[in-house]
Amino acid sequence: MSARRHLPESDETELDMTPMLDIVFIMLIFFIVTTSFVKESGVTVATPRAESASPQDNANIFIAITAEGEVWIDRRPVDPRSVRAIVARLHADNPEGSVIIQSDEEASTRMLVDVMDQVRLAGVEGIAIAAEKGVQ
């Protein structure tokens, strides 16, 4: 008589999830690295209308000028004299990006020119003024 050994039979099959988790983590790292974060102004302004308005690409810094003459960058009010330093710091994070100035239609032209001057002194060449597309 021969002695047979009966091994316990397993009805469950196991899947090794490690390679799939590795792929998920690699994709997550890829998306985090390639994402560009937009710095919003933090206040809504009534921009003027223009027939020639067009969308801007690579805009990552938004500066808002309210009707009362307040300047907002990155969801907080700032002193107009500190615009240069703030924009230089934000521009260093993404040198290919540009600046969009969202000026209220009731804001002073002098304030708009001062902010544009500070942005240019910060070393940013790509500056645009926001306008809504449409007939005035």
Average confidence (pLDDT) over 6-29? 80
Write down the pTM of the prediction: 0.66
| 93 SS3 class | helix
pLDDT in tens, 24-45: 999 999 988 887 666 667 777 8
pLDDT in tens, 69-100: 999 998 889 998 899 999 999 888 888 888 88
Quick check: 48 and 132 in contact, CB under 8 A? yes
Which amino acid is it at 7?
Answer: L
Give the DSSP H or E segment for 65. Answer: strand 59-65
**What pLDDT is stored for residue 136 in this prediction?**
60
**What pLDDT is stored for residue 117 in this prediction?**
93
Q: By C-alpha distance, which of 53, 44, 16, 46 is closest to 129?
A: 53
Quick check: 124 and 62 in contact, CB under 8 A? no
Q: Using CA atoms, how far apart are residues 74 and 80, in angstroms rounded to an integer?
A: 14
pLDDT in tens, 48-63: 878 777 777 777 888 9
Q: By C-alpha distance, which of 13, 120, 119 is closest to 71?
A: 119
DSSP code, position 129 = E
Average confidence (pLDDT) over 102-126? 91
According to CATH, what is the number of the domain 49-133? 3.30.420.270
**What pLDDT is stored for residue 25 in this prediction?**
93
Return the bridge partners of 48, or none. Answer: none
Q: Would you say residue 130 has pLDDT above 90?
A: no
Chain centre to alpha carbon of residue 36: 6
